[in-house]
Structure 1
């Protein structure tokens, strides 16, 4: 199976954000005095999944990140990540054209 470039060489900003999230999750785990094995058992995953998340590995499932946030009592922060009312660029664009969903444009036909 061929790996996606997003998993092997993500954009710098994505890689940095995942590493920061992983480090923050590690800090949260240590502050709660929870071992990787205990965290893994709570979530029903292997210890390696916890280690990968804490390293910010791009191929780690978003479900692992979300479950770790949940287990540390931080899940409400995930729900607000893409909050539509906090999306300044999206709000600006929406004020120009009030679309309800994106659509593929139709090609013009010059056959009369």
Structure 2
């Protein structure tokens, strides 16, 4: 079951899909064929029913040439709350350059023992 908020958003989405289809002068059957689905699915989507899959929505948006809009729905660069929460978890202090350099060197050569080694690999 969908909440009242979800239901109203889906109804609005359905109306927008119908308007986009009509602006393009497409019949429901034409859209269904081009999106690879049935006419009843298009009708259900235009009514705002919650049971229609997101893949079907993606197929319809491809037909309309609006597929990038789906990818932009939850663009993390525009997620103000998510960014604020992420910034709260950032460390308060950064590492010094020398600490990062030591870590980088140890990550590149983890098998080398601490200390000086000669050509035979023996530590002193």
Q: Which residue of 2 aligns with 1:94?
A: 86
Q: Root-mean-square deviation (CA), in Å?
A: 1.0
Q: Which residue of 2 aligns with 1:57?
A: 49
Question: Which residue of 14, 23, 33 maps to 1:31?
Answer: 23
Question: Hey, which bits of structure 1, 4+ residues long, moved more than 2 A?
Answer: none
SS where residue 19 of structure 1 aligns?
helix
Instruction: Report if aligned partners of 2:61, 2:67 keep a CA contact under 8 Å in 1.
Output: yes
- Answering whether residue 62 of structure 2 is matched by residue 75 of structure 1, we say no
Q: Which residue of 2 aligns with 1:6?
A: none
What 5-or-longer segments of structure 2 have no aligned partner?
A: 91-124
- Whose Rg is larger? 2
Deviation at 1:11, TM superposition (A): 1.4
Deviation at 1:43, TM superposition (A): 1.7
1:21-44 Cα shifts (integer Å, max 9, x gaps): 111000000011100000111122
Q: TM-score, normalised by structure 2?
A: 0.69
| Higher RCO, Cα 8 Å, sep 6+ | 1
